[in-house]
Amino acid sequence: MKSILITSGRIIDPANKTDQIADIFVKNEKISQIGKNLKIDADILIDAKNKVVSPGFVDMHSHLREPGREDKETIYTASLAAASGGITSIVAMPNTDPVADDQTVIEFILSKAAKESLVNIFPCGSITVGEKGNKISEIWELKQSGAIAVSDDGRDVQNADLYRKAMQYCRTHNMPIISHTEDHNLSEGGLMHEGTISSKLGLKGIPACSEDIATAKIICLVEDTGHKAHFTHVSSKGAVDLIALAQSKKLKITADTTPHHFSLTDEAVEKHGTFAKVHPPLRSENHRKALIKALKNNTISTISSDHAPHLWKEKECEFDKAAVGISGFETFLPLIITNLFNPKHLSLSQALAKITINPAKILGLKKGTLSPGADADICIFDPKESFTVDRFAFKSKGKNSPFHGMKVFGKVHKTIVNGEIRITD
């Protein structure tokens, strides 16, 4: 393992409230020393002048597709795309084929990641067997196998009694729940946000209250069981208001939203068609503004990519048949810089906290910090450097992005994972 000396960078580490020009010495996979004008012989010297040096990003919601849909993405290609975006730790959602509902699938993912991944991969198991919502998975077995959380992402658990029992079980084993919130009675068959645009396009809408009602249900269960819950890809103003109320009551509630939800509205469907088809859907401007306000006041404390790669043919088709999701790893940081930092909604330190130490704390990971002794997961980027998004240049197999052709700011130059340079310009 080669030692690395990173010099003259603007070190921003929200975990330690650090924002200074200094050097970082990396040795034996760890952050060894931070200081000004370090006089240390290192195997590799990196000049980070005029660039930001931050902890590597922790993305707590992504879809790697392996096992089962290696035509869409593999653990290797996903890790390459993540590293290209400065992401050094990713949580893999369980809706693979087969579903990650038992020890075998979790161990397969970890084994494959150990051999092929360029970044840290943490599998998430499913709350219910097959994500069918009928029977609770063997949650203790999932945790013992290496799963760090459970979720039925893609389809919310509709049975409140079963969800309550799952929360009680998760509390016993201190297992985080990542909650996809949706009432299927209201959303089934919906293709985009219900509103003026859906009516104009003649597409069946998904009302915001589908998310709001499901959010209220989970909050009630958290209050009843005393267990924590994390709401993922929050998209509606009603959900934000409910989460804020729950947090004011000191309930163990956290939340994330995605770059596409705070960057776009349902009007993007008119312009980008199926490439703007996501789940939950892009909503109207009042919802987008509510998300930004929640990011500013920390009601939403984390940002996740919800990276969802698909085949080209799965997007280039009729809207009702098109797959849902955006390939999000490689536009993760640029959308945060362009749409949150540049408009001064968040400082750079506040923005980075939402993709480093905050998700790490929620998941109980020893990541997201540049503290001496911490794993040497580092991103070096230039927040002022602009470029035009080219989805065909993505390292991910998934080229499905509505941001193609958009000018953005925030260029990743180097990504270091456990002391090894994985991506370099």
What's the CATH number where 243 sits?
Answer: 3.20.20.140
% of the chain beyond a pLDDT of 90: 99
**Is residue 146 a contact partner of residue 107, using CB atoms and an 8 Å limit?**
yes
Q: Tell me whether residue 328 is in a domain.
A: yes
pLDDT tens column, 262-287: 999 999 999 999 999 999 999 999 99
Q: Tell me whether residue 419 is in a domain.
A: no
Per-residue tokens: 18? 């650090």
Residue 410 has what pLDDT? 98
**Is residue 128 a contact partner of residue 136, using CB atoms and an 8 Å limit?**
yes
3-state SS class at 321: helix
Residue 133 has what pLDDT? 96
Q: How far apart are CA 198 and CA 158, in angstroms?
A: 26
Residue 1 has what pLDDT? 81
How many domains does one find in the chain? 1
In this model, does residue 174 exceed pLDDT 90? yes
Place of tokens 């084993």: 173
As a whole number, mean pLDDT of residues 102-119 equals 98
Confidence at 390, pLDDT banded by 50, 70, 90: very high
CA-based nearest residue to 402, from 287, 278, 303: 278
- DSSP assignment of 218-264 equals HHHHHHHH---EEE-S---HHHHHHHHHHHHTT-SEEEEE-HHHHH-
pLDDT tens column, 294-325: 999 999 999 999 999 999 999 999 999 999 99
pLDDT tens column, 213-254: 999 999 999 999 999 999 999 999 999 999 999 999 999 999
Q: Tell me whether residue 337 is in a domain.
A: yes
CA-based nearest residue to 10, from 424, 379, 285: 379
Q: Tell me whether residue 415 is in a domain.
A: no
pLDDT tens column, 156-169: 999 999 999 999 99
Per-residue tokens: 57? 């990003």
**Is residue 367 a contact partner of residue 56, using CB atoms and an 8 Å limit?**
yes
Place of tokens 């080209």: 312
**Is residue 207 a contact partner of residue 183, using CB atoms and an 8 Å limit?**
no
Q: Tell me whether residue 169 is in a domain.
A: yes
Q: How far apart are CA 77 and CA 86, in angstroms?
A: 14
- C-alpha angle 117-123-127 in degrees, rounded to nearest 5: 160
3-state SS class at 366: coil
In this model, does residue 261 exceed pLDDT 90? yes
User: Would you put residue 257 in left (φ > 0), alpha (ψ -120 to 50) or beta?
Assistant: beta
Confidence at 425, pLDDT banded by 50, 70, 90: confident
Q: Is the whole-model pTM more than 0.95?
A: yes
Kindly report the average pLDDT of the chain as a whole number.
97
Which domain, by its residues, includes 317?
Answer: 56-363
Q: Tell me whether residue 228 is in a domain.
A: yes
Q: Tell me whether residue 416 is in a domain.
A: no
CA-based nearest residue to 397, from 158, 96, 76, 141: 76
As a whole number, mean pLDDT of residues 51-79 equals 98
Q: Which residues are known catalytic residues?
A: 306
